[in-house]
Chains A and B, each alone.
Chain A
Amino acid sequence: MELEKIALALRPRQGWEAVDLGFRMAMRWARPLWAVWFTVFLPVAGVLTLAFYEQPMIAAMLVWWLKPLYDRYLLHVLSRAVFGATPSLRDTLGASRQILGSALIVSLFTRFIDISRSFNLPVTQLEGQRGAPARARRRLLGLRAGAFAAGLTIVCIHFEWVVMYGLHGLSMLFESDVQWTSEVVDDARPWWESLGDWWGLTETLYYFIAISLIEPFYVAGGFALYLNRRVMLEAWDIELALKRLATRHSTMLTLFFALTVAVCMTAPHQALADEPPDAEPIAQADPSEAAPGDTRFRTDATIPAEDSEATETTVQECAEGEDCADQIYQSVDTEIRREAHRILSEPAFGSEREVTRWKRIDADDDDDREPVEDAPAIFGAIAELLRVIAYLAIAAIVVAIIYALLRFWLGAAPSPVASAPPAMLFGLAINPESLPEDVPAAARALLAAGQRREALSLLYRGALSNLVHTRGMRIGRGATEGDVLRLAQSILGAKPLNYLRALINTWSETAYAARLPEIERIDALCSDYGLLVPAEVSA
Chain B
Amino acid sequence: MSESLLPAEALARASDILQRLKSSVAQAFLGQDRVVEEVLSALLGGGHVLIEGVPGLGKTLLVQALARASGGRYSRVQFTPDIMPADVTGHTLYDPSNGQFTTRKGPVFANFVLADEVNRAPAKTQAALLEVMQEGQVTLDGTAHKLDPPFMVLATQNPIEQEGTYALPEAQLDRFLLKVVIDYPPENEELAVLRFATEKRSAERLNIDRVAQILTPETLGKLQAMAASVRVDAAVESYVLRIVRQSRDFAGIGSGASTRGAIAMVRCARALALLAGRDFVTPDDIKRLAPSALRHRISPVADLIIEGRTADMLISELLEKIEAPRL
Contact B322 A482 (CB under 8 A): no
Contact B323 A477 (CB under 8 A): yes
> How many angstroms from the CA of A483 to the CA of B323 in the assembled complex?
13
Contact B327 A426 (CB under 8 A): yes
A427-B327, A480-B287, A482-B287 given as contacts; is B322 within 8 A of A512 (CB)? no
List B252-299 residues whose CB lies under 8 Å from chain A.
278-284, 287-288
B231 at the interface (CB under 8 A from A): yes
- Minimum CB–CB distance from B314 to chain A (whole Å) comes to 14
A428 CB contacts on chain B under 8 angstroms: 326
Q: Which of B3, B284, B287, B326 makes the CB contact (< 8 A) with A426?
A: B326
B282 CB contacts on chain A under 8 angstroms: 480-482, 508, 512
**Number of residues of chain A lying within 8 A (CB) of chain B:** 18
B235 at the interface (CB under 8 A from A): yes
Contact A512 B281 (CB under 8 A): yes
- Minimum CB–CB distance from B202 to chain A (whole Å) comes to 36
Contact B284 A478 (CB under 8 A): no
Contact A426 B235 (CB under 8 A): no
| Complex: chain B residue closest to A427, CB-CB | B326
Main secondary structure of the interface of A (DSSP, over half): loop
- A-B CB pair tally, cutoff 8 Å: 61
> How many angstroms from the CA of A476 to the CA of B319 in the assembled complex?
10
B95 at the interface (CB under 8 A from A): no
A515 CB contacts on chain B under 8 angstroms: 280
| Complex: chain B residue closest to A478, CB-CB | B320
Contact B323 A481 (CB under 8 A): no
| Complex: chain B residue closest to A482, CB-CB | B284
List B1-34 residues whose CB lies under 8 Å from chain A.
3-4
> How many angstroms from the CA of A477 to the CA of B283 in the assembled complex?
13
| Complex: chain B residue closest to A428, CB-CB | B326
**Number of residues of chain B lying within 8 A (CB) of chain A:** 24
Contact with B along A496-539 (1 / 0, CB 8 A): 00000000000011011111000000000000000000000000
Q: Which of B233, B236, B324 makes the CB contact (< 8 A) with A479?
A: B324
| Complex: chain B residue closest to A514, CB-CB | B233
B201 at the interface (CB under 8 A from A): no
Contact with A along B309-325 (1 / 0, CB 8 A): 00000000001111111
> How many angstroms from the CA of A515 to the CA of B8 in the assembled complex?
13
Q: Which of A427, A477, A513 makes the CB contact (< 8 A) with B279?
A: A513
Contact B280 A509 (CB under 8 A): yes
- Minimum CB–CB distance from A335 to chain B (whole Å) comes to 66
A479 CB contacts on chain B under 8 angstroms: 324
A508 CB contacts on chain B under 8 angstroms: 282
| Complex: chain B residue closest to A509, CB-CB | B280
| Complex: chain B residue closest to A485, CB-CB | B284
A511-B233, A512-B236, A513-B4 given as contacts; is B324 within 8 A of A478 (CB)? yes
> How many angstroms from the CA of A476 to the CA of B321 in the assembled complex?
8
- Minimum CB–CB distance from A489 to chain B (whole Å) comes to 14
> How many angstroms from the CA of A476 to the CA of B3 in the assembled complex?
30
> How many angstroms from the CA of A482 to the CA of B324 in the assembled complex?
11
Can you list 5 contacts pairing A with B, beta carbon distance less than 8 Å?
A482-B282, A512-B280, A512-B283, A513-B4, A515-B280
Return the 3 tightest CB-CB contacts between A and B, nearest first.
Answer: A427-B326, A482-B284, A513-B280
- B: residues with CB less than 8 A from A are 3-4, 231, 233, 235-236, 278-284, 287-288, 319-327
Given A478-B324, A480-B325, 7 more A-B residue pairs with CB atoms under 8 Å apart are: A477-B320, A478-B322, A482-B283, A509-B280, A511-B325, A513-B4, A513-B231
